[in-house]
Copies of this chain bind each other. A is one copy, B any other.
Amino acid sequence: MKVTFTDGKEITVVEGESLYEAFKRQEVYITASCGGKGTCGKCRIRIIDGDYSCRSYGKLSREERDGGIVLACQSYASGDLVVDIPVESRLSVGDKIAISRSKDLVELLRSYNAEISPLVTRTTLRLPPPTIDDNISDLERLKRELDATGLDLRYSKEFVSRMVDDLRRFDWNVNLGYQEDSSEALFLEPAEPAGTRYGIAVDIGTTTVVLYLVDMTDGHVVDVASTYNSQMRYGDDVITRIVHATEGGGLDDLRKAVTTDINDLITPILKRHGLEAGQIESVVISGNTTMIQLFWGFNPSYIREEPYIPAANSFPVWKASETGIRIGGNTPVYTVPCVASYVGGDIVSGVIATKMHRSPEISLFMDIGTNGEIVIGNDEWMMTVACSAGPCFEGSGIKHGMRATEGAIESIRIDPETLETSIEVIGESRPLGICGSGMIDAVSEMFLRGILDQRGKFVRETGGPRIREGEDGLEFVIHHDAKGDIVLTQVDVENIMRAKAAVYAGVSLLLKEVGFTFDMIEKVYIAGGFGNYLNVERAILIGMLPDIPEDRFHFMGNTSVAGAYLCLLSRQMREEAEDVASRMTYIELSVKGGFMDEFMSALFLPHTDIEQFPTVKAKLPDR
């Protein structure tokens, strides 16, 4: 059977295969954070024509079902189909905002005075061709020439295997590419190579996977792609996934899920730019400690059990062939080092992206993802804690939540008189969902307008025309749309409350631990997938961020991929990452105690102790 898309592309689908499976098999990538189990509801498509059956509709509304919307993973063709993939279900490739912001990265690298020194180094060799009087073997010929340069390399079987033909193909004038840390010869290419070489920087988040394609000659970000981490089918947080790996014997499921995600991002991005996989010369991976252990296929069980031990925090440079990533097998893969079981390479990346480790000022770094990690310190010392925030700010577990890509509502105002909303949408396109910064905006506005009470409960009486009873209880309509309203439900608000409370509790405890008060912090760096910006005032208003002057806050975006980018391009940055990782002191909150108390106190708007939020107190009407 045939599926024709509205853009004219055609694929086939066979009996018994879900549309999601058929798409994937033929390189039509759509989002599905549950990996095709029918639970996340992200793989919505619209069937325009043809016969089909659906195993389930998940949480699709009657309205959506009537409009031909189905879940691709639950739908089976009974004949030829015409299908439309809505923008919000598409894998995000070529996000304009992310690409435009990536220009800052080139600046950041420059500000370090770091020269471009990738994982792969090249040296040019002009070898005398063999003769009957100089008939040493190819490998000995190569080594003889290298001896002059003082290089003593290791040679893999694959290298030698390709070398025989490469030397002759390139007429004995070659560039030898090698990996300096592991002293390993990687490849031969012509002495005057054609075409640009690229690198890939990847942030493996618990909820999302973000990939930058980088031009290794000048460091500019060529493209950006992101998707949900399909390990989500095995659980929303790292603990559930560790349990799945340990008790369910599912370590390899998890490993494969994330490498498949990375491959699903690489394939379209290479296609889009007309590149071959062989043009990718190196990869850097950044992520939290559990994500990294899972990526490499290491048993993560002992991360979960006291005294919380990962297999490794610092990783040798290994090879793509050992990862399942479908690029040249010999391609080196560097892992940004981790600090401890709950503070990973994503945080080390964050620190080098903020440069706080080089400044004498006391800075606070907060990375708000599915886990919230917080670092305090300066160029002399750094302390760090971690807490579990949940995936809601990344769009997961929120009815109309989405990543901060085109179509996401990132800003919301509620008119104090009419209680009507006005919104701003990333890419100024049709609104498709709400991203993290939109959620914070929405909750703070609803709280200010009395639509939510201090406990985060909808107040029907004061809620105005946009509050209504929905399928999941009370909900607030952020945006009316003929194709389906975008709402925030009571359940959504509860998830957001828990996330913000966890973050604030973590910060409070860390400051107590080091004996600092909030006013002693000179800079606060916020990282996370919030999109264009995070409205600090609003984040303070809901009690997520501490109540200190706004000008001390700096919103950094995804610093995990930024750190991966820096390490991809510069040896100095890799050394700096290793240094930062070894210098950070990790405080295990679970053994310190007190986290639950702090968390419960923060489960209010803004906080049970309003005195911690004097500026918020001033803004609140007497109620």
Give the B-binding residues of A (Cβ under 8 A): 130-132, 134-140, 154-157, 160-161, 163-165, 168, 182, 296-299, 301-302, 306-314, 316, 318, 322, 338, 340-341, 588, 591
Q: Which residues on B sit within 8 Å (CB–CB) of A306?
A: 132
Complex Cα–Cα for A487 and B430 (A): 92
Is the beta-carbon distance between A154 and B311 smaller than 8 angstroms?
no
Tell me if A157 and B297 are in contact (CB < 8 A). yes
Expressed in whole angstroms, the minimum distance between the Cβ of A293 and any Cβ of chain B is 9
Q: Give the distance in Å from the alpha carbon of A165 to the alpha carbon of B311 in the complex.
A: 9
Other-chain contact of A157, B137, B296, B299, B314 (Cβ < 8 Å): B296
Closest to A134 in B: B307
Q: Once the chains are docked, how many angstroms separate the CA of A154 from the CA of B319?
A: 14
> Which has the most chain B C-beta neighbours within 10 Å: A163, A302, A341?
A302
**When the two chains form their complex, are residues A296 and B136 in contact, meaning their CB atoms are under 8 A apart?**
no
Q: Report whether A136 and B311 are in contact in the complex, using a CB–CB cutoff of 8 Å.
A: no
Residues of chain B contacted by A138 (CB below 8 angstroms): 302, 309-312
Q: How far is the CB of A259 from chain B (nearest CB, A)?
A: 13
Q: Give Cα A134 to B155, complex, Å.
A: 38
In the bound complex, do residue B139 and residue A588 qualify as a contact, i.e. CB atoms below 8 Å apart? no
Residues of B within 8 A of A168 (CB): 302
Question: A156: which B residues are within 8 A, CB to CB?
Answer: 316, 318
How far apart are the CA atoms of A310 and B161 in the complex, in Å? 11
Q: What's the nearest-Cβ distance from chain B to residue A375, in Å?
A: 18
Q: Are B130 and A160 in contact (CB under 8 A)?
A: no
Chain B residues within an 8 Å CB radius of A301: 164
Q: Which of these, B161, B296, B298, B338, contacts A298 with CB under 8 Å?
A: B161
Bound-state CA distance A132–B308 (Å) is: 8
Q: List 9 A-B contacts (CB under 8 A).
A: A130-B309, A137-B313, A138-B311, A156-B316, A160-B296, A161-B297, A161-B311, A164-B301, A168-B302
Q: Which 4 pairs from chain A and chain B are nearest by CB? A: A139-B312, A132-B307, A137-B313, A164-B299
A296 to B310: give the CA distance in the assembly, Å. 36
In the complex the two chains form, is A154's CB within 8 Å of B182's CB? yes
CB distance from A367 to the nearest CB of B (A): 21
Q: A307 near B131 (CB under 8 angstroms)? A: yes
Q: A135-B307, A140-B313, A157-B296 are in contact. List 19 more A-B contacts (CB 8 A).
A: A132-B308, A134-B307, A135-B309, A135-B588, A137-B309, A137-B314, A138-B309, A138-B310, A138-B312, A139-B314, A140-B314, A154-B316, A155-B316, A156-B318, A164-B301, A164-B302, A164-B311, A165-B299, A168-B302
Q: Are B302 and A591 in contact (CB under 8 A)?
A: no
B residues in contact with A136, CB < 8 Å: 309, 313
The chain B residue sitting closest to A138, CB to CB, is B311
Closest residue of B by beta carbon distance from A302: B164
In angstroms, how far is the closest chain B Cβ from the Cβ of A317?
10
- Chain B: CB-nearest residue to A141: B309
| Shortest beta-carbon distance from A331 to chain B in Å | 14
Residues of B within 8 A of A137 (CB): 309-314, 338
Cα separation A308 to B138 with both chains bound (whole Å) = 11
- In the assembled complex, the CB of A543 is this many whole angstroms from the nearest CB of chain B, namely 31
Find chain B residues with CB under 8 A from A309 CB: 130, 135-138
* A139 CA / B132 CA spacing, docked (Å): 50
In the complex, what residues of B have CB within 8 A of residue A298's CB? 160-161, 164
* Docked CA distance A165–B157 (Å): 29
Task: Tell me which of B135, B160, B314 contacts A312 (CB under 8 A).
Answer: B160
Bound-complex Cα distance A160 to B297 (A): 10
Q: How far is the CA of A155 from the CA of B322 in the complex (A)?
A: 13
Q: Please measure, in the bound complex, the distance between the C-alpha atom of A338 and the C-alpha atom of B138, giving whole angstroms.
A: 13
Task: Kindly identify which residue among B130, B140, B161, B341 contacts A296, using a CB–CB cutoff of 8 Å.
Answer: B161
Nearest residue in B to A159 (C-beta to C-beta)? B316
CB distance from A593 to the nearest CB of B (A): 13
> In the complex the two chains form, what is the Cα distance from A588 to B307 in whole Å?
66
Measured between C-beta atoms, what is the minimum distance from A249 to chain B in Å? 13
Distance in Å from the Cβ of A164 to the closest Cβ of chain B?
Answer: 5
Give every chain B residue within 8 A of A312 (Cβ-Cβ): 137-140, 160
Which B-chain residue is minimally distant from A321 (CB atoms)?
A: B157
Task: Determine which of B130, B308, B314 lies in contact with A135 in the assembled complex, contact meaning CB atoms within 8 Å.
Answer: B308
- The distance in angstroms between the C-alpha atoms of A137 and B182, with both chains bound, is 21
Q: Within the assembled complex, what's the spacing in Å between the Cα atoms of A157 and B335?
A: 12
Tell me the bound Cα distance from A296 to B139 in angstroms. Answer: 14
Q: Which residues of B contact A322 (CB under 8 A)?
A: 157
Q: How far is the CA of A340 from the CA of B311 in the complex (A)?
A: 45
